[in-house]
Structure 1
Amino acid sequence: MSSSQFQLIKEARLKNNCPECYSNDSLELTIKQKLSETQFYKSITNEIVSDINCLNCELQIFPVRWTDDIEQVVNYHKRGLNLKTKSVALKPISWGIITFFTVIIIATILFATGVLVL
């Protein structure tokens, strides 16, 4: 039960020409950061994804079709990002499992040393 999703970090209109329809001021840059979640933890990763869509011809412009100008503008926007820091947050079930095994290990050590007698 692992899921990944991308959270929108930045959205900007570019003043470059579309490589498909040559329209000016119709490119929209979207930058997203990856979030992962399982039943044991939630995490924010450093992985980012950037997409460019043309609002005029309604096509996604893939990085292969980016011109040097578009690539420079995308790199400029990536440098100015305020990314969330990479982190992992354990869910309550994880803390329960960790606590359970810690108690079992401590009980085993105390029993092996003779401090705890059944």
Structure 2
Amino acid sequence: MSLSQFFTLKQARISNNCPECYSNDSLELTIKQKLIETQFYKSITNEIVSEICCLNCDVQIFPIRWTDDIEQVVNYHKRGLNKKPMSLKLKPMSWGIITFLIVIITAVILISTGIIAI
């Protein structure tokens, strides 16, 4: 069971015209980074997602509808972004399995070389 979610890195109001209702200063840019969590580990990836929503007409503006001006503003905000570095954190269940396997492998090696007799 893998749960992937996004956490917000930056949220900013941009002063471009909305492609739907043409209002000025009602677009909100949200930049998010992907987080994957399973039973064994938690990982932050390098995947970044940008979303723009108009607060006036309550419509999400998809990238296909972005104008060149909006794309330039989004790229500007992405350049100044402090994204979290890629990371991997093992959970206690993973550490337990790794420790168990190391003990088993060590026991097999010691028994097969004759250091420990059964």
**Corresponding residue for residue 75 of structure 1:** 75
Separation (CA, whole Å) in 2 of partners of 1:52 and 1:84? 21
User: How far off is 1:33 after superposition?
Assistant: 0.6
- In structure 1, the residue matched to 2:39 is 39
Counterpart residue number, 1:110: 110
- Please tell me the residue identity of whatever aligns with 1:5: Q
Q: TM-score, normalised by structure 1?
A: 0.98
Residue 19 of structure 2 aligns to a residue whose secondary structure is: coil
Secondary structure at the residue paired with 2:84?
coil
Runs (5+) with no aligned partner, structure 1: none
1:40-59 Cα distance to aligned partner (Å, 9 max, x none): 00000010111000011110
Aligned partner of 1:100 in structure 2 is: 100
2:9 match: secondary structure: strand
Which segments of structure 1 move beyond 2 Å, counting only runs of 4 or more?
none
Letter paired with 1:7: F
- Matched residue, 1:29: 29
- Structure 2 stretches of 5 or more lacking a match? none
SS of the aligned residue for 2:72 comes to: helix
Query: How many angstroms apart in 2 are the aligned matches of 1:117 and 1:30?
Result: 64
Distance 1:68 1:2 in 2: 36
Aligned twin of 2:50: 50
Whether 1:64 aligns to 2:64 is: yes
1:2 is displaced (CA, Å) by: 1.1
1:3-33 Cα offsets, whole Å, 9 max, x none, are 0111010000001001111100000000011
What residue number does 2:89 align with? 89
1:66 counterpart letter in structure 2: W
